[in-house]
Structure 1
Amino acid sequence: MTKEQRAAVDAQFRQADFDGGRSPEEMRAAFAELMAGPPPAGVTLAPTKLGGRPALEFVPDEGAGDGVILYFHGGAWIMGSPATAQKLTAALVRRTGARAVSLDYRLAPEHPFPAAIEDGVAAYRELLDQGIPAERIIVAGDSAGGGLTITTLLAARDAGLPLPAGAVAFSPGLDVTRSGESMTTKAGVDPLFTKESLQRLSEFHMAGQDPYQPLASPAVYADLAGLPPLLLQVGTNEVLLDDSTRLATRAATAGVDVILDVTGDVPHVFQAYEGVLDEADAALDRAGRFIRDRLTS
């Protein structure tokens, strides 16, 4: 990874404006523009529905195996869609040979917490109802979608559903109390977020509800026992760094098989810069290997 690559990505992030000071509609338009790009290579995309919600299916051009990745996009719970995460989703599909279904879950403030979790569980339940064995399913997501990955597992466990083969979370948001030390130690280092901007965004998501509860802040308050193998990938230039480090520590204490994969000097969801940032390609390779190992074990 070159300094030039890192500087270019950092500069692009610093030009973004997602501090919660604009309307959700304005932020959604800006996020869609930031994440826009040509259709990803090597996959075929088709609209579908899952769990009563619109979704986007990704099938590798070389043919899919019998594994399925249920993907949740990022966007601070108020922005984003399967289209904004299509590059990341396709990157996992190409590396694993599994098809993916990316869910267009409900967004705040129109549908605040816990609407997205309800959608995530409904989508996972429908995959099971389709006859797909739990051990052939991987749940994955980035940012808010990474948080949704973990909370969907927790809610599915509590509902008595069989849990998937594993889960991958890129820079997950796992603590809306914003109590991690990295909220302060990474201030200014993070080119995208501050503690204050995340708190403003959380006001849309939580709509006045208690943040001190397991499905809102699982890094701090959830009982993590019984979760399937986890891969958490995060960069050191993130105020959300401690969301991953604390969840990993607590998951390990609870007996969960967890890999904490920290990459130095990269920002939030750096994996989205496949082909631009060398460390993004390397991290996606590791994520692909994790998924393949879980689906073949």
Structure 2
Amino acid sequence: MSEEQRAAIHQLLRDAPFDLGGAVAIQRPRLEEMLTAHPLPDDVRTSTGELGGVPVVFVDLAGVDAAGVLFHLHGGGFALGSAMGSVELASGLARRTGLSVVTVDYRLAPEHPYPAAVDDVVNAYRALLAREGGSTNVVVSGESAGGNLALELLLALRAEGLAQPAAAVLLSPMTDLTVSGESYRTKAAADPNITATAIRTRVGDYLGGTGVDPADPRVSPIFADLTGLPPLLVQAGSNEVLLDDATRLAVRAAADNVAVILDVVPGVPHVFQAFAATLDEGAAALDRAGRFIGSHLASATS
């Protein structure tokens, strides 16, 4: 069944009206519709609020006494996506770890270019630390551009001397805003819906008018010194143009003495974990992420 599932997901993405590089006024509601098309499981409870002045969605599972908090950052190329749109994916991770979730509605480009999103993420995390009384029961996660922001959060925490989370989970992270990975060429035909052109468009929105070079480590963590970051799990699919953003990050982290696991799944697309309900590889990847999180929460609290 898995081969059929993969083929169905690829066809769904090819046929979808969503275009990552399209006009934000059109693509924002299209992406939101895709991400919220199916009702959440009955035991998923959501409420809106704020942390550090930043809008967030709080997610809890009915009947679960949460052992910690997953601080989640949604994808969408810095210009699309929402906290509510990421609830299904984030709650899938929470279900496997016994955590509650905070997913962050950081400000989007082009209306709010860099560093607005990073500032929002740091401010929300700082407020979460104050609420939780520390970071030992906190795990950071993010998909695509949210993976970029998760890494930039960790680097900002290191610079400010703030407590790092117990671990971080990065799903198909966008780590190189110069769009220079070889996989943009070698995986162009395999990737069903992401292109180098689309990524460059969103990078232009994010950095436009700021004067920040796309190779600056403040926006492209692939070029940063990663020393001192917490354990990382990096997951990606072999059928995505962003594959090199994941693999090169893992190599860089290892060279900087960061404990890192690179988990590449054959034949699946960008953020394939979002299809866990209908894709065996997605569910299995979330299972592995859950075990990774559990092991590091246990070690952080022991």
TM range (shorter): over 0.9
The alpha carbon displacement at 1:62 in A equals 2.0
Conserved 8 A contact 2:44-2:60:
yes
User: Aligned equivalents of 1:19 and 1:78: distance in 2?
Assistant: 9
The residue number in structure 1 matching 2:176 is: 175
User: Aligned equivalents of 1:14 and 1:55: distance in 2?
Assistant: 31
User: Aligned equivalents of 1:223 and 1:230: distance in 2?
Assistant: 14
The alpha carbon displacement at 1:19 in A equals 4.6
The residue number in structure 2 matching 1:218 is: 221
The residue number in structure 2 matching 1:78 is: 79
The alpha carbon displacement at 1:125 in A equals 0.6
Per-residue CA deviations over 1:187-245 (Å, capped at 9, x if unaligned) read 111111111221112111111431110021111x1010000000000000011001111
The residue number in structure 1 matching 2:113 is: 112
The alignment status of 1:44 with 2:45, answered yes or no, reads yes
The alpha carbon displacement at 1:253 in A equals 0.6
User: Aligned equivalents of 1:292 and 1:88: distance in 2?
Assistant: 17
User: Aligned equivalents of 1:46 and 1:239: distance in 2?
Assistant: 35
Per-residue CA deviations over 1:57-106 (Å, capped at 9, x if unaligned) read 11121223341110111111111111211111110111111111111110
The alpha carbon displacement at 1:51 in A equals 2.0
Q: Percent identity, aligned pairs only?
A: 48
Instruction: Identify which range, 200-209 or 173-182, moves more after superposition.
Output: 200-209
Conserved 8 A contact 2:2-2:281:
no
Conserved 8 A contact 1:40-1:90:
no
The alpha carbon displacement at 1:40 in A equals 3.1
Instruction: Identify which range, 40-49 or 94-103, moves more after superposition.
Output: 40-49
User: Aligned equivalents of 1:149 and 1:40: distance in 2?
Assistant: 26
The residue number in structure 1 matching 2:3 is: 3
User: Aligned equivalents of 2:51 and 2:40: distance in 1?
Assistant: 22
Give unpaired runs (5+ residues) of structure 2. none
Secondary structure of the corresponding residue to residue 260 of structure 1: strand
Conserved 8 A contact 1:43-1:93:
no
The residue number in structure 1 matching 2:265 is: 263
Conserved 8 A contact 2:20-2:76:
no
User: Aligned equivalents of 1:19 and 1:162: distance in 2?
Assistant: 34
Secondary structure of the corresponding residue to residue 26 of structure 1: helix
Instruction: Identify which range, 39-48 or 195-204, moves more after superposition.
Output: 39-48
The residue number in structure 2 matching 1:91 is: 92
Per-residue CA deviations over 1:105-129 (Å, capped at 9, x if unaligned) read 1000011112111111111111112
Choose from 247, 250, 253 the match for 1:251: 253
Per-residue CA deviations over 1:8-40 (Å, capped at 9, x if unaligned) read 1101111233252x3211110111111122123
TM-score of the superposed pair, with normalisation by structure 2:
0.95
Paired positions, count? 295
The residue number in structure 2 matching 1:30 is: 30
Stretches (4+) displaced over 6 A: none
Per-residue CA deviations over 1:136-167 (Å, capped at 9, x if unaligned) read 11000111111111111111111111111000
Change (3 A) 1:169 1:41: farther
AA matched with 1:233: Q
User: Aligned equivalents of 1:58 and 1:112: distance in 2?
Assistant: 27
User: Aligned equivalents of 2:159 and 2:139: distance in 1?
Assistant: 18
AA matched with 1:62: G
TM-score of the superposed pair, with normalisation by structure 1:
0.96
The alpha carbon displacement at 1:2 in A equals 2.1
User: Aligned equivalents of 1:32 and 1:59: distance in 2?
Assistant: 21
User: Aligned equivalents of 1:198 and 1:241: distance in 2?
Assistant: 13
AA matched with 1:4: E
Conserved 8 A contact 2:72-2:102:
yes
Conserved 8 A contact 1:27-1:79:
yes
User: Aligned equivalents of 1:40 and 1:243: distance in 2?
Assistant: 32
